[in-house]
Amino acid sequence: MLPSFVVFVLVISVPPVACSAAANGSSTLTEGQELRGTDRLISKNGKFALGFFTSESSKSFSDNTTLPNWYLGIWFNKIPKFTHVWIANREKPISDPNFRLSKLRISRDGNLVILNHASKSIIWSSQIIIVNGRRRANKKKSVMAALSDNGNLVIRGASNTSIVWWQSFDHPTDVFLPGAKVGRNKVTGQKYSLVSKKNQINPAPGLYCVELDPTGGRQYFGKLCNSSIVYFSTGEWNGKYFNLVPESSSTNFFHIQFIDNDEEEYFTYTPSDPTVITICLLDVSGLIKQLLWVESLQDWETIYIQPKASCDVFAVCGPFSVCSDSALSLCNCMKGFSVKSPVDWELDDRRGGCIRNTPLEHCGSNRSNLTVLTDQFFPLPSVTLPYHAHSMETIESRQECMQVCLRNCSCNAYSYGKSGCSIWHGQLINVKQYNNGTVNINEEILFLRLAAGEVQSLGNNTKGGRRRLIIGLTVGAFGLLVMLLIISMGKRKWCGHPLNNTEDACGVIAFKYVDLQHATKNFSEKLGGGGFGSVFKGILRDSTAIAVKMLDGARQGEKQFRAEVSTIGMIQHVNLVKLIGFCCEGDRRMLVYEHMANRSLDAHIFQGNGTMLDWSTRYRIAIGVAKGLSYLHESCHDCIIHCDMKPENILLDVSLVPKIADFGMAKLMGRNFSRVLTTMRGTVGYLAPEWISGVAITEKVDIYSYGMVLLEIISGRRNSSSKECTSNSDHDVYFPVQAARTLLEGDVGSLVDERLHGDINIEELERACKAACWCIQDHDFDRPTMGDVVQVLEGLVDLDMPPMPRLLQAISGSSSTT
């Protein structure tokens, strides 16, 4: 809301003369022109548009009538999926009856204003008050507004366009465009902060902000707006990347800068490829996402997200709710509570959280022992304790802790464990479910205060559920016995629930959730995790060691999931991890693999806590991985593109034989098609150049990734790490650049992992280096097939020196420039 004196000044500053409509499609708005209705400003490159657009935020959900609100904003002009990147009046939308009377124009004092001519009121103003530390009271020279090619709306001098009075990049909303800012103005104190939307269809300011560290650190925070509560930090900027976000390195796909001068300090970024369309978005739920427009899919794909788990966002589910990253529904009300506003909840606006089903009884007016009989506690194990606990240091028993809570009518929960007694007044927020079902480290259980009738109802439901479970297990056991007898009588071999009805194979086994829960000791031993989910170790009844992958975000129906698992189960190769079975119950989706005793390759070549691999072993691993990929690309019924080849997805068995994991997650490509459309996946540092540009991909993306992995096997360090190219150099060189350059110079021995102490086969090393450089060529048609790579590594085919990729040449030239 604008101050009354500002509105008065702006209204009387509107010229009484008639204004002309702006030239529709022009990139500028000059004094005396108006933008109204369907008029648009279009940037000169045609990428962005500015105008009025409508939102569904005012749709009535009771009678389905629509009274649209209107906003002035900037959006991508050529993208079919409407995506706004900036909104002027997000806090004060224009109601439908007033829209036709509202116009954008430049007022006499040089401000951009949205003016309602009927009421003579200002809906929105750019409010140019202080520029470069001095007040602009009397404008003597004319100004103009222009929509720049980077999506920045700028008010500048009409005769001297280098003078900028105001720009939208200084007032971001929920989108951080390339070239925009997150930081602050040192002179005015103005923050350049991102603020999330209220919900999915209402762009009004929401709960979460991204802003520069107010203490002066070169980092930015994800936090609750107008609060000191921080739920995500990038860590300090070290000149190349943020310490806690190493994938933000400028040597990859984005060039990140920290600008610090007398007037401002801020972060900004630009994509290395100017044709890439990308945005950084702070979404409704407080997640920071980097989105990439994939032209072939006609949609945005998320290529980066922070925090990694949605439940790490503070209070994302609102009060009296529990957040679970592993459940089908992220947020659920606590027992005895229901969603306060179902309409807002469905739109991801959960700030209202949940409310009690039954009010607490006899609390407030009567604090006698009657309270003990009417209010009771319901245990919530396996959850993190709520925010803002009150510690009761003198309490020494759980019973006494419970009584303290009962005697205080504002107390809604208590907990007692190794850290003593804690109680919570008012709302319970930021409660998260443990994925493995265990109690927290201090053995603390949250006891939720409910009316006695509510607790008894919950208890009856639990008993009824247990009774139904016992009956179900009994009937199921009887049915299983009958089935076994039938199978035994028919002398047929039984293998669980086969997905393949072939005569010579049983297919993969359909496990029950309770069986996997028992085999993994309630998913207590976590082996690792990645983009697809978490992996837990288990032991079957026949002592077979297994690895259970609990898939995150799998939403297929049971029939589709079974069909996909059936396809994976038919793929058998010595260098591919064997799929034993699966689980598909309710919203649970799991894959059961053979367990790899020696973990993944990265543990041995990077982390230093695995077995030291000699050159012979490394070379055998390189050949084995190449054979596995060759099988996926060339020997399966359908060409399978892995899409995420990296050391973490190469597992080693007890004999250090390499086996490719997660190949079943890739998309299938029919033999009659040379390319496949796929969603944006993969890992930074291994992505082929054509992938980031959004074009359709082939199996050659796997070959590019394999080349990067091969360089890492040789060197024992990440391909994205840097190293001085000479002893007196002050500049870091991207390692693939160093490898290609060194190969051309003939000194391949200097590329080998120093821990090998020169104990290598020089001929094998030269073949491996040439194959790697051949694999990482810029264009997919210049790369070999995996079958060719196998022949080169096995010495069956001689390979000439491949050219240095042009992309690496460009990096090499820039990195060696003083």
Q: Three-state DSSP class for 490?
A: coil
In the structure encoding, which two tokens stand for residue 19, read together?
């204004």
Token pair 């907990």 in the structure block, residue: 415
Q: Is 207 left (phi over 0), alpha (psi -120 to 50) or beta?
A: alpha
- Which of 333-341's residues contact partners 24+ apart within 8 Å by CB, and which partners? 334/380, 334/428, 334/431, 334/448, 335/378, 335/380, 335/448, 335/450, 335/458, 336/378, 336/448, 336/450, 336/451, 336/454, 336/455, 336/458
293 phi and psi, to 5 degrees?
Answer: -80, 120
| Catalytic member of 644, 662, 702, 788 | 644
Tally of CA atoms within 13 A in the half-sphere of 118 that contains its CB: 7
Q: How many residues does the chain have?
A: 818
Active site annotation includes 702: no
Looking at 277-419, which runs of residues are DSSP E strands?
Answer: 278-282, 288-294, 299-306, 321-323, 331-333, 337-339, 354-356, 375-380, 390-392, 411-417
- The one-character DSSP state at 757 is T
Cα–Cα distance measured from residue 664 to residue 554, given in angstroms and rounded to the nearest whole number: 13
The rounded Cα 414 to chain-centroid distance in angstroms is 34
461 phi and psi, to 5 degrees?
Answer: -60, -40
Q: Is 148 left (phi over 0), alpha (psi -120 to 50) or beta?
A: beta
- The one-character DSSP state at 30 is E
In the structure encoding, which two tokens stand for residue 614, read together?
């000699």
Beta strand 194-197 with 205-212 is antiparallel
Q: Three-state DSSP class for 740?
A: helix
Q: What does 765-818 look like in DSSP terms, one character per residue? A: HHHHHHHHHHHT-SSGGGSPPHHHHHHHHTTSS--PPPPPPHHHHHHHHHHT--
Nearest one of 57, 91, 69 to 347, comparing CA atoms: 57
Token pair 């930090």 in the structure block, residue: 233
Cα–Cα distance measured from residue 669 to residue 666, given in angstroms and rounded to the nearest whole number: 9
Contact (Cβ atoms closer than 8 angstroms) between residue 211 and residue 195: no
Which residues, in sequence order, are CB contacts of 481 under 8 Å at separation 6+?
none
Q: 433 vs 56, 322, 677, CA distance in Å?
A: 34, 6, 36
Cα–Cα distance measured from residue 171 to residue 192, given in angstroms and rounded to the nearest whole number: 6
The rounded Cα 222 to chain-centroid distance in angstroms is 14
Other Cβ atoms within 10 Å of 365 Cβ, number: 6
Nearest one of 346, 340, 315 to 207, comparing CA atoms: 315
What is the separation, in whole angstroms, between the first and last Cα of the chain? 51
Which residues, in sequence order, are CB contacts of 145 under 8 Å at separation 6+?
28, 29, 30, 41, 106, 112, 153, 154, 155
Cα–Cα distance measured from residue 556 to residue 816, given in angstroms and rounded to the nearest whole number: 50
The answer to whether 549 is a known ligand-binding residue is yes
The amino acid that residue 356 corresponds to is R
Active site residues: 644
Binding residues: 549
- Annotated binding residues for ATP, written as ranges, equal 549
